[in-house]
Chains A and B, each alone.
Chain A
Amino acid sequence: MSNPAHPDLAASGRVYAGERSRLRDNISRFVSLASIVALLILFTAMNPNFLGAPNIRNLLTDISPILAMSCGVALVLLLGSIDLSMGSIASCSAVMLTLLFGPLGWWAFAAVFLFGVFAGLLNGVLHAKLKVPSFIATLSTQSIWQSAAYIISGGQPLTLVPGNWGYVNWVRAKSLGPLPLGPVPPLFLIALAVMIVYHIYQSRTGTGKTMMALGANERAARLIGLGIDQAKIVAFTLSGIGAAIAGVFFAVKLKSGIPTVGEQYNLIAIASAALGGVALTGGRGHILMVILGVGLITVIQNGMNVVAVDGFWQQIVFGLLVLAAIYMNSDRRRRDLVVK
């Protein structure tokens, strides 16, 4: 490229580099989509019921909480930060919701939503204002909310008393007013709405665009006067809300509040976002594409259940998936890159 006698060569080199980076931007999406199709075929071949209407309904129900969580964490990943507290925020929300139906009725949903706002806000303030690195701040709040979930529930799974089932029966609705839903569960529609709202917020508002900009280059973003702290706090708050919504989903789906229900979902949500093409280094990714990662993860999880693979394999597979997804998305071109 540095050969002055061949300016065309230099130009073609640059174009080549550009195309290669565009390919890399999309590689995890292609891999995710191709893997979903391949796995759907594989699992259907192993068990023909896999693509039956009941299992599709199961799949979409399983997707819903993961989707709500991963869209939230995707915003945080765009900053180049991480949120490890989602799992226990979800657990705490599930436990709270189960208990609050009694005193609050329908307002229980609002209370849990507010809890999500608060938990996310706390992460955001700790990170943006006190400058605590996000992984340690959220690891600590993860521990705090996990303790809270245990303390509120007394360490036992809480079952929803039959008197309060009226608040959660809509989960099984087969139609939306006159509109038949077929195999699509209402939870999935809510999760989809969360994803679309988060996407529009991220791509259309100033604060949302700031998240992307500061993930790509925080110093530059600060120099041109963008509201860095505000964008960070909003991203963490939206992540907290996503986690609380996931907790609500767990509670209404299982008709119970289990204090450990969200435990394994931290890794699953991060893996989903990464498989959807969100780079852990920040500044690169697309919220709508996160659904591909969520789909892949859920198909693997559900497929392993359908073909009856032992549960502990899932931990191994998800751990390796996270490593693979992040490897695909990480930027290794810059030689002076300092990775801690």
Chain B
Amino acid sequence: MDKQGYSSPIAREFAQEMARRNRIERIVGLAPVAILAFLVIVLSLVADGFFSLYNMQSVLSQLSIPLVMSMGLTFVILLGGTDLSGEGLGGFVGSIVVLMVLNTRTNLDWGLWAAVIGVAAGLMVGTISGFIHVYGKMPSFIVTYAMASVMAGFAVLSYRGQPAMSKYEFFITLARGRFLGIPYLTWTALVIFAISYVLQEHTRFGSYVFAIGDNERVAKNTGININRIKILVFAWSGLCIGVAGVLGAIRIGRGEVVIGTGTVFPAITAVVVGGTPLTGGKGGVVHSLIGALIVTVINNGLILLGVNTYYQAAIQGIIIITAVALSVRRGRKVVTK
């Protein structure tokens, strides 16, 4: 053994290489926080009214739906899959929830039970997607893409082309109210974040998700029931989409399929920009929280700067491509489909 306690030069080289990689990874891991800080500073200087209590509250309010969506999506992406069903499923849940509370279209008045049923519907559809993905051996993105279309159809079908307006007092209170200066909707999202954090860090489920995302075959050989974990992940993602749908219904007060429109893209951006690569196995919900903040701050800043809202989606597209291109593994042997 030499002075540093390595048995051979190769061992020392290996240890140094690993230490170097860890250092790089830690720096890269901090990049999203730096980007967020940079954005906040620049926007405070450039955009009038960005750094004000009122605007910070509206940023927090706008954060709620992307945050909830990205919490479910983080687990799916950690597996190396994708869930694109949010557009249709979120719209469906939002539509049926408004039809079940006191509203202008039906005679139902189930109060908060409507929200519970809505979230359960999300959970159920997520589970179905998971089943089809796992047992049909079909890629998750296409299963959920098709599922989005199916659920968008059912959403319009549920209110037959004429959206219902919510007359439920409690929803109106929830939409406007604040606790400690933070909107109730954001508190709901933070609760989902806390649950996701516990799931990821303190349950066997969380470790299995990382293991499967890192190397599915190895995880399978160690005896993890891969299929069960995958279905659970899609069920969790469906549940989060269900919560996002309910929050959307509360926010706009109208049960319409557009509740889901344009919600998936910010959520994917949040996860990827936060530092969970699409290949899975790395990252997590804390990263996605930072990512969701980045996405929300950018969108908020663009509105304050008076940029045409049509540019938002295009800018998000460019951000996703850049983030993914920076995070993918390259080299001649890597096969990307």
The answer to whether A and B belong to the same complex is yes
A: which residues have CB within 8 A of B?
A: 79-82, 84, 126-127, 130-137, 139-144, 146-148, 150-151, 155, 218-219, 222, 264, 267, 270, 280, 282, 310, 312-320, 322-323, 326-327, 330-332, 336-340
The answer to whether the Cβ of B334 comes within 8 Å of any Cβ in the partner chain is yes
Q: How far is the CA of A337 from the CA of B220 in the complex (A)?
A: 12
A340 and B150: CB pair below 8 A?
no
B136 and A330: CB pair below 8 A?
yes
Q: Assuming A135-B82, A336-B217, is B138 touching A319 (CB within 8 A)?
A: no
A144 and B317: CB pair below 8 A?
yes
The answer to whether the Cβ of B270 comes within 8 Å of any Cβ in the partner chain is no
Q: How far is the CB of B270 from chain A (nearest CB, A)?
A: 14
Q: How far is the CA of A142 from the CA of B316 in the complex (A)?
A: 11
Q: How far is the CA of A222 from the CA of B332 in the complex (A)?
A: 9
Q: How far is the CA of A310 from the CA of B278 in the complex (A)?
A: 38
Q: Assuming A151-B311, A340-B80, is B141 touching A141 (CB within 8 A)?
A: no
Q: Residues of A contacting B333 with CB < 8 Å?
A: 219
Q: In the complex, how many residue pairs between chain A and chain B have their CB atoms under 8 Å apart?
A: 159
B321 and A132: CB pair below 8 A?
yes
Q: How far is the CA of A150 from the CA of B311 in the complex (A)?
A: 9
A147 and B313: CB pair below 8 A?
yes
Docked complex: B143-157 residues within 8 A CB-CB of A: 143, 145-154, 156-157
B310 and A136: CB pair below 8 A?
no
Which chain A residue shows the least CB distance to B132? A323
Which chain B residue shows the least CB distance to A151? B310
Name the 8 nearest CB pairs between A and B, nearest first.
A315-B153, A319-B150, A316-B153, A147-B314, A319-B149, A140-B317, A312-B156, A143-B317
Q: How far is the CA of A312 from the CA of B256 in the complex (A)?
A: 13
What is the interface of chain A mostly: helix, strand, loop, or mixed? helix
Q: Residues of B contacting A270 with CB < 8 Å?
A: 142
The answer to whether the Cβ of B93 comes within 8 Å of any Cβ in the partner chain is no
Q: How far is the CB of B231 from chain A (nearest CB, A)?
A: 13
Q: How far is the CB of B94 from chain A (nearest CB, A)?
A: 16
Q: Assuming A270-B142, A322-B146, is B325 touching A151 (CB within 8 A)?
A: no
The answer to whether the Cβ of B287 comes within 8 Å of any Cβ in the partner chain is no
B153 and A143: CB pair below 8 A?
no
Q: How far is the CB of B134 from chain A (nearest CB, A)?
A: 8
Q: How far is the CA of A134 from the CA of B312 in the complex (A)?
A: 22
A132 and B137: CB pair below 8 A?
no
Q: Residues of A contacting B136 with CB < 8 Å?
A: 323, 326-327, 330, 332
B328 and A316: CB pair below 8 A?
no
The answer to whether the Cβ of B65 comes within 8 Å of any Cβ in the partner chain is no
A132 and B328: CB pair below 8 A?
yes
Q: How far is the CA of A181 from the CA of B272 in the complex (A)?
A: 53
